[in-house]
Amino acid sequence: MNESSSSAPQKDRRSEPRSVSNRYFSVEFSISGAYSSYQFKLRNISDGGLCILVKEGSDVLKKVSVGDVLNMKFYIVDEPNTAEVAKTEIKHITQGEPGRYEGRYLIGLSILERRSAGIELSSDP
């Protein structure tokens, strides 16, 4: 066995840790003037971290812009019915490349400030 095929873990070369992207599985937010909220599964696509996929033609694309800051509710992976509210910036809106993300846009998110940690969500209707 040579060194290049070693099963030893390789050092992470990212400039920023990805711990935030592993903590949450989905995000929910509403946009000013909208009557409903939007919920998306979070993706860990880019080196920068959190991202959502939005279908081309979705109303969300008409209502958000790069640089917008929204209060978003992030649902926690290992704590059912628990979420954190965070002030979040839209970092980029990028059209998906042909193939896997064709017909979709990737919206990059950056958590600026956590407002509330571990909010227990009510299961009542």
Return the SS3 of 1: coil
Does residue 122 belong to any structural domain of this protein? no
Does residue 8 belong to any structural domain of this protein? no
Q: Which residues contact 72 (CB under 8 A, 6 or more apart)?
A: 27, 28, 29, 85, 86, 88, 109
Does residue 59 belong to any structural domain of this protein? yes
Does residue 93 belong to any structural domain of this protein? yes
Q: What is the CATH number of the domain that holds 37?
A: 2.40.10.220
Does residue 68 belong to any structural domain of this protein? yes
- What is the residue range of 76's domain? 17-117
Does residue 6 belong to any structural domain of this protein? no
Q: pTM of the entire structure? A: 0.74
Tens-digit pLDDT string for the chain (125 aa): 444 444 443 343 434 444 456 888 999 999 877 678 999 999 876 666 799 999 999 999 999 999 999 999 999 998 878 899 999 999 999 998 888 889 999 999 999 988 766 667 665 55
Please give the distance of CA 16 from its chain centroid, rounded to a whole number: 16
Structural domains of the chain, count: 1
Does residue 84 belong to any structural domain of this protein? yes
